[in-house]
């Protein structure tokens, strides 16, 4: 019982002990790093539980207006990462990362891996996943007139 209490206390960290959360500009820089071709058109942010922050918006990517989101959360995986054991090796699953602000960004970046000017079905499906994820997080985003934000997978012909 005391061990459980000690572990619980060790996992709880006051928000005052954390480094400052990344600024909105730093979060938008993460989006730019994810998709250098993206030109941000509009964005707005909102705070969430435990100091998390979401930024939702639209950007022009290769001539198309696309939705995006960026989020930062306090990642507490550090103390727990060493507890998870890899079944095959019997050792800890990986290096223990210190607690930190984790930043992730999602934007359909309209890839064209082979450079032929046409996206493959797989590339379009990757973009659909990013749109769907963004629209789940940013439910108030809507496509501008004339734009279509495909969120369903295309399936191969039988």
Q: Are 63 and 147 in contact (CB under 8 A)?
A: no
Q: What is the pLDDT of residue 114?
A: 78
Q: Are 41 and 57 in contact (CB under 8 A)?
A: yes
Residue 5 lies in a domain: no
* Weakly modelled stretches of the chain, pLDDT under 70: 1-16, 77-87, 90-96
Residue 144 lies in a domain: no
Count CB neighbours of 53 within 10 A: 19
Q: What is the pLDDT of residue 75?
A: 87
Residue 14 lies in a domain: no
Q: What is the pLDDT of residue 99?
A: 87
What is the domain count for the chain?
1
Residue range of the domain that includes 123: 19-137
Q: What is the pLDDT of residue 128?
A: 95
Residue 158 lies in a domain: no
pTM, full prediction: 0.77
Q: What is the pLDDT of residue 5?
A: 34
Instruction: Give the model confidence (pLDDT) of 24-56 as tens digits.
Output: 999 999 999 999 989 999 999 999 999 999 999
Dump strand ranges (E) for 5-155.
39-47, 53-61, 64-75, 100-106
Q: What is the pLDDT of residue 112?
A: 77
Residue 24 lies in a domain: yes
Structure token digits, residue 8: 């619980």
Q: What is the pLDDT of residue 7?
A: 37
């Amino acid at each position: 019982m005391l061990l459980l209490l000690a572990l619980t206390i060790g996992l709880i960290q006051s928000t005052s002990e954390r480094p400052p959360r990344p600024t909105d500009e730093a979060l938008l820089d993460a989006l730019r790093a994810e998709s250098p071709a993206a030109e941000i058109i509009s964005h707005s942010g909102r705070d969430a539980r435990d100091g998390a922050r979401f930024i939702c918006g639209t950007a022009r990517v290769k001539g198309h207006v696309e939705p995006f989101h960026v989020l930062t959360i306090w990642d507490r995986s550090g103390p727990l990462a060493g507890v998870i054991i890899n079944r095959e090796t019997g050792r800890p699953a990986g290096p223990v990362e210190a607690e930190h602000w984790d930043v992730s960004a999602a934007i359909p970046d309209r890839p064209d891996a082979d450079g032929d000017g046409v996206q493959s079905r797989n590339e379009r499906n990757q973009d659909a996943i990013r749109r769907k994820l963004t629209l789940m997080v940013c439910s108030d985003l809507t496509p501008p007139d004339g734009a279509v934000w495909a969120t369903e997978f295309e399936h191969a012909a039988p």
